[in-house]
Structure 1
Amino acid sequence: MTFIDINCDIAEGFPYDQELMKYISSANIACGFHAGDHQTMRRTVKLALENSVKIGGHPGLDDRKNFGRKKRNISPEDLYSLLLFQFGALFAITKAEGGHLHHIKAHGALYHMINEEVDLAKAFCHSIINFDPHLTIYCPPYGQLHTIGNSFGLTIKKEVFADRTYRKDGSLVPREKEHAMITRKEEALKQLLLVITEEKVMCEDNTELALSGDTFCLHSDQPQAASFAKYLRKQLGNHQIRIM
């Protein structure tokens, strides 16, 4: 039996959160800037606790208009403060509900910015070190955050996406491309099984890329998010792969 973690970006205003919680093992809860609010955060924390799902922060840029998916200039100092603000809000709600924070995963444009820019990656790591150095970082296997986080002695979990396609440099195909999202659950399963069993992925140009993961992501904004998660959990179980 193989054991894996399935994480989901959640509490972002889509209608599948309650159903999704039945099939995932880590919840990346939006912290109120790119999406979500105090009530949504609390409701989602309670759902996670009821389903024994690990609670993580999903901080993003202060940009609701673009759902945090548009890159913008931000200094390392401003990013540091922005992150602490979001961590603190989710921490307070989680503690009040009797839970604890397990991990942090950046959202959208911020996810890519801290993976590409050294100073922003350092600011991200320093925010975690000074807030709670025991938090785990979910991040791409390639890039600045993985390298710098490891050098700082932080706990890093390599993230691979079940419902996104890859380029040969290890980056995700940009969302504006028609084939950026995997919309067929059978294709998502195929990609997951290839990464889990052979540690590789097929890229958009049909080349192979060495890729291994510690945690695997589904998006709650996928129109079939809940059915995706249910299908993947069942089919992975048929391959002796358990989500926990």
Structure 2
Amino acid sequence: MNGKNIDINCDVGEGIGNEPELFPFISSCNIACGGHAGDEDTIREIGLLANKHKVKVGAHPSYPDKDNFGRVALDITEKELKETLKHQVNTFLKVIVSAGVTMNHIKPHGALYNEIAKNNKVAITFLEAIHEFKKKAILYVPYKSVVAKIAKERGFAIRYEVFCDRNYNDDLTLVSRKEKDSLILDEKKVFEHVLRIVEDNAVKTISGSIKKIKADTFCIHGDTPNAIEILTYLSNELPKRRIQISK
């Protein structure tokens, strides 16, 4: 097998405070920009730290809902959603540019991410909200999602994302966090999950089925309880299969 390089991204700036431990193990990050967590100070702090570790920096906008950490789909108008998303990404961009950091990508968070994967109307609203950033940033989206299809049609540069620490349904949606098996916390199982995707372009779903999938970037959540242990294990084991995390 020829050697491969992969991108591992992580959601950060969400108040966990483990970024100094995470950044040596990842190659890109998604910084909360005020919707579900974070503010200008945390954006600047985390952006500078990421730059120091040669970690690519992206905006992580969400529904404006800190109470539910952006994990509940809000019943707001298209206008309200567009306005908050534009404000979040513009705030993020203003802060990191002033800090001398470059925006690499945009990745929506939580319930917004799940909604645009399946809801045509919300996906279009999201893409219209970030249209002005189309030439400035790559878009991280789920494979075979509604938003991926529309984004490609509209000329966005996209990267397909899969999750290291989440289980998948047969339709390639994520198992709901309300279900007990939504997270993969065992380091060896995470490794097996990632390895199957890298080597076979396939994922084993929660039902045990094997489904084809494509990944350009792999996410681990910064608030996964043992995120550091998982990343440490991956950084040790992946090179044994000639898979490198690319900085």
Are the counterparts in 2 of residues 128 and 135 from structure 1 also a CA contact under 8 Å? no
Match of 2:47 in 1: 45
Spell out the pairing of 1:112-191 with structure 2 (5 A cutoff). 112-191=114-193
Match of 2:221 in 1: 219
3-state DSSP of counterpart to 1:21:
helix
**1:179 CA displacement:** 0.6
**1:142 CA displacement:** 2.0
Residues 113-149 of structure 1, C-alpha deviation per residue, up to 9 Å, x if partnerless?
Answer: 1122212211222222223433111010022100000
Any stretches of 5+ residues in structure 1 without a counterpart?
A: none
Residues 217-243 of structure 1, C-alpha deviation per residue, up to 9 Å, x if partnerless?
Answer: 000111111121122122111111111
Match of 1:84 in 2: 86
Residues 8-50 of structure 1, C-alpha deviation per residue, up to 9 Å, x if partnerless?
Answer: 0111011311110111011100001201122211110011100
Match of 1:236 in 2: 238
Alignment counterpart, residue 96 of structure 1, candidates 95, 98, 120: 98
> Higher mean Cα deviation, 76-85 or 204-213?
76-85
- Rounded to whole Å, the distance in 2 between the matches of 1:189 and 1:242 is 13
CA RMSD of aligned residues (A): 1.1
Residues 47-71 of structure 1, C-alpha deviation per residue, up to 9 Å, x if partnerless?
Answer: 1100011000000111111111011
Match of 2:26 in 1: 24
3-state DSSP of counterpart to 2:35:
coil
Q: Normalising by the residue count of structure 2, what TM-score does the alignment of the two structures yield? A: 0.96
Are the counterparts in 1 of residues 134 and 156 from structure 2 also a CA contact under 8 Å? no
Aligned partner of 1:19: which letter?
E
Are the counterparts in 2 of residues 75 and 120 from structure 1 also a CA contact under 8 Å? no
Match of 2:110 in 1: 108
> Higher mean Cα deviation, 182-191 or 109-118?
109-118
3-state DSSP of counterpart to 1:69:
coil
Are the counterparts in 2 of residues 57 and 104 from structure 1 also a CA contact under 8 Å? yes
Match of 2:57 in 1: 55
Paired positions, count = 244
Percent pairwise identity:
35
> Higher mean Cα deviation, 192-201 or 76-85?
76-85
